[in-house]
Amino acid sequence: MTRPARATDPSYELMDDHNGLSIIYRQHGFPCPLVRWHFHKEYELHLIVASSGKVFVGDYIGNFHPETLFLTGPNLPHNWISQVAGDEVVPTRDMLVNFTDELLEGAASVLTELKSLTPMLERARHGIEFRCKAMIRKAMDLMQAIAGSSGITRLGHFLILLELLAGCDDYQLLSGVTAGNLADEQTIDRTNRAVDYIFSHYTRELPLEEVADYMGMKPTYFSRVFKQATGRCFIEFVNRLRISKSCELLADGQKPVTDVCFESGFNNISNFNRRFQQLKGMTPSHYRRLAVQRLTEQNQRAPGERLRSAK
């Protein structure tokens, strides 16, 4: 059973509690009021340490699991929803660092070395998922160092972490649109409720009219508001969520492709194959072979690396 977060807070997250500090460090579990479709002016470095589920960044939908690391740019909407048992509580799911353009722009005016971070920060406007496992483990150590320090020492760990990330060339850009293309906070707040509802029901037939009725809107108006907020039309959003689910099932087990099709919410195998090919550029069977190959390569790492990863 999947339990989505409810939209109980405003979708714009105001972080005026810097208290004179250059960066904000936070960690939280799931469920948590911070888990919602929202945006803010700060960059967000977001490390998942427990649970698996779906990640939404701009118009991107994907999967997350422990030891996944993301960087989102200013005002780019995002959310991570864990797939857990009905009454399951994850005490610590996320480690976060938030920082602003003003911090780095001001510092770069006197510390020219910081200008090397500019390309990565530009990419972050689309959202970045870092893929190098060895680098992510180093980033985890630095996040722990940030969590356990303060003052100049904390800032030093943060700058070392940014340099590490900027040097990583194993990453994926996520959203096809940036914050400037997306909706205002009122629209996103309403869309947060819609995304929660879709997430709870996407594995069955889910017409736009049903979600519009749940939102108390006319279907045409809801369709326009939803596309403005997510960068995707309703059916494309749902299909991408279903394809994301199918990737998870293909990578994690040996279920026949037909079973994966229906468990992901599609009711027609030819439509499933066509959508999968359209979005992933390959067949479901090919995707499974690549996923198995990647897992095999990870399992062939040095024993010491595997032991550290398992801790």
Mean pLDDT of 248-266: 90
The yes-or-no verdict on residue 311 having pLDDT over 50 is no
Question: Are the CB atoms for 52 and 74 separated by under 8 Å?
Answer: no
Query: Which tokens hold the place of 120?
Result: 């990565």
Confidence band of 8 (pLDDT split at 50, 70, 90): very low
**Residue 257's CB: how many other CB atoms inside 10 A?**
18
Alpha helices in 167-268 (DSSP H): 185-201, 208-215, 219-230, 234-252, 257-263
Confidence band of 172 (pLDDT split at 50, 70, 90): very high
Q: How many whole angstroms separate alpha carbon 151 and alpha carbon 221?
A: 49
Contacts of 41 (CB under 8 A, 6+ apart): 15, 74, 75, 100
Lowest mean pLDDT among 14-18, 68-72, 87-91: 14-18
Specify the pTM.
0.75
How confident is the prediction for the chain on average, in pLDDT?
Answer: 85
Query: Which tokens hold the place of 40?
Result: 């803010």
pLDDT value at residue 238:
94
Domains in the chain (CATH in brackets) are 24-173 (2.60.120), 183-295 (1.10.10.60)
Confidence band of 19 (pLDDT split at 50, 70, 90): low
The yes-or-no verdict on residue 209 having pLDDT over 80 is yes
Q: Which amino acid makes up residue 44?
A: E
Q: Is the Cα torsion angle 81, 83, 87, 89 positive or negative in sign?
A: negative
H or E segment and range at residue 90 = strand 90-99
pLDDT value at residue 252:
80
Question: Are the CB atoms for 144 and 169 separated by under 8 Å?
Answer: no
Q: How many whole angstroms separate alpha carbon 261 and alpha carbon 181?
A: 32
Query: Which tokens hold the place of 41?
Result: 């002016």
Matching residue, tokens 């996407």: 202
Q: How many whole angstroms separate alpha carbon 99 and alpha carbon 106?
A: 12
Give exposure, 203-238, as e/b (b: 16+ Cβ within 10 Å). Answer: beebebeebbeebebebeebbebbbebbbbebebbb
Question: Are the CB atoms for 161 and 99 separated by under 8 Å?
Answer: no
Mean pLDDT of 50-71: 93
The yes-or-no verdict on residue 304 having pLDDT over 90 is no
Residues in the chain, overall count: 311
Mean pLDDT of 241-262: 90
Mean pLDDT of 195-204: 90
Give exposure, 116-149, as e/b (b: 16+ Cβ within 10 Å). Answer: ebeebbebbbbbbbbebeebbebbbebbebbeee
pLDDT value at residue 306:
40
- Tens digit of pLDDT for each residue in 273-299? 999 999 899 999 999 988 878 766 666
pLDDT value at residue 305:
45
> In the chain, what percentage of residues exceed pLDDT 70?
85
Q: How many whole angstroms separate alpha carbon 127 and alpha carbon 172?
A: 8
Rounded to a whole number of angstroms, the CA Rg of the chain reads 20
Mean pLDDT of 164-187: 81
> Which value, to the nearest 10 degrees, does the dihedral of the CA atoms of residues 227, 228, 229, 233 take?
10
Q: Is the Cα torsion angle 165, 166, 168, 174 positive or negative in sign?
A: positive
